[in-house]
Amino acid sequence: MATTAEYRLGEFTFPRGWFMVTPASEVGSGPTPLRMFGRDLVIYRGESGRAVLLDAYCPHMQAHLAAEQTSGAAANRIEGDSIRCPYHAWRFGSDGRCDHVPYFKGPLPPAAKVRSYPVEERFGCVFAWHDPEEGAPDYALPALPEWDDPYWVRCTFDDLGTIPVHPQEIVDNIGDARHFGPIHGQIMAYFDNIFDGVTARQRSGGGHETMTTSEDGILESDATYTGPGILIARYSGETDAVQIILHTPKEDGVTQIWHGLITRGQSVPHSEADLAMNKSYHDLGLAAFAQDFAIWRTKGPAIHILRLPTDGPFPRSRAWYRQFYNPRAQAAEYQARANGVHYTSGVAGAPDLHAAE
């Protein structure tokens, strides 16, 4: 395991961006403790139905907002979209500001607040905007129209737990043309990268031992990071599928990972065959991802890559990733170092048919 400082990523220990924090199904009406970005957090669903994510410690005397309150004095600590601290019952709104103290009528000091994180729910996941500068989101979550298309078979997300690996090592995959053969059994027909602002895209195609079922099966993949923690990979070939890989820094050098895979069925409602195909493809997708996982789990940190000219464009992908660890005022400089279409020497780029939209 290595830390952000060891990779020399930038000023911030934890990056700016949208990150999965929990499956939506796990956010109930009661406050739940959560640990992400090296911080103790609390998440709950307000009475309006919205998920609220706050720093956990009350500014009054530092009680944890999700701590158990055994007296039963206030069975329901969620009022509207606000939450009451279990210790002296200060109440905090979804914006994190204290909006009521039962024993004090005067104006509250400005410090009577906890940090609140913008939250959005999409495709069964709760995403939070983390920004060391505490600014508003400067890009949108990626669209996943397939999720709302009735032909597509949805998934629940696999919680793959945490690995003691910095997310840098996971993001390195986006430009790593040369691991596809040894790790995934792919016979590569083409591979290229397109970096553009906060997105990093990888297009690849070829035979794939794990994710194709017939010998001459061709798998085409078009995978895009939107920000540092959300990867959506669209596969076409034998089956149309979308793989969603979500990773979030939990501690400095420790990453939590979720995986989901949805497939296009042939009928609405889905036939048994559609569901069976979804299950088998999901298992194949997970198996392919496990191949990367097996390496990450045991590898040392690649602080420096001994890069050969015919390796993938790691200097570009690492410059792209650094934008999220530095003040947003500097993001354009890092983007300028990464932006463009990048080929891996010795590997064909994607055919024109698949040119960037």
What CA–CA distances, in Å, run from 43 to 18, 29, 119? Answer: 16, 9, 10
Residue 42 contacts ligand FES per CB under 6 A: no
Q: What is the 3-state secondary structure (H, E, C) of 222-233?
A: EEEEECCCEEEE
Binding of ligand FES by 85 (CB under 6 A): yes
- Which helix (H) or strand (E) element contains residue 340? strand 340-343
Q: Does 58 bind ligand FES (CB under 6 A)?
A: yes
Token pair for residue 27? 């956010």
Q: Which among 44-52, 85-93, 217-225, 251-259 is the span making contact with ligand FES, rule CB under 6 A?
A: 85-93
Residue whose beta carbon is closest to Fe ion? 292
Choices 7-15, 87-95, 128-136, 185-193; region in contact with ligand FES by CB under 6 A: 87-95
Q: How far is the CB of 47 from ligand FES (least distance, A)?
A: 21
**Smallest distance, ligand FES to C-beta of residue 28, A:** 21
Question: With CB cut-offs between 5 and 8 Å by kind, which of ligand FES, Fe ion, none does residue 90 bind?
Answer: ligand FES
Tokens for 123, please give them: 């495709």
Shortest CB 58 distance to ligand FES, Å: 3
Could you say whether residue 209 binds Fe ion (CB under 5 A)?
Answer: no
Does 196 interact with Fe ion (rule: CB under 5 A)?
no
Is residue 79 a contact point for ligand FES (CB under 6 A)? no
DSSP string, 306-322: ---TTS--HHHHHHHHH
Residue from 39, 60, 122, 201 that binds ligand FES (CB under 6 A)? 60
Q: How many residues bind ligand FES (CB under 6 A)?
A: 8
Q: Which of 7, 19, 90, 281 binds ligand FES (CB under 6 A)?
A: 90
Q: How far is the CB of 48 from ligand FES (least distance, A)?
A: 23
Two structure tokens written together for 240: 């149309």
| Residue 108 within binding range of ligand FES, rule CB under 6 A | no
Q: Which amino acid is at 249?
A: P
292 scored as a contact of Fe ion (CB under 5 A): yes
Cis, peptide link before residue 269, omega less than 30° from 0:
yes
What is the DSSP pairing of strand 199-208 with strand 116-117?
Answer: unpaired
Q: What's the rounded Cα separation, in Å, for the pair 278 and 173?
A: 25
Cα dihedral: 33, 112, 324, 306 (round 10): -60
State yes or no: residue 83 binds ligand FES (CB under 6 A).
Answer: no
Q: Least distance from C-beta 65 to Fe ion, angstroms?
A: 39
Query: Which run of H or of E encompasses 45?
Result: strand 39-45
Instruction: Dump the DSSP string for 190-258.
Output: EEEEEEETTEEEEEEEEEETTT-SSTT-EEEEEEEEESSSEEEEEEESSS-EEEEEEEEEEETTEEEEE
User: Counting contacts by CB under 6 A, is residue 74 touching ligand FES?
Assistant: no
Question: What residues between 91 and 150 interact with Fe ion by CB under 5 A?
Answer: none
End-to-end CA distance of the chain: 38
Neighbours of 308 (CB within 10 A): 9
> Which residues make up the interface to Fe ion (CB under 5 A)?
173, 292
> Which residues make up the interface to ligand FES (CB under 6 A)?
58, 60-61, 63, 85, 87-88, 90
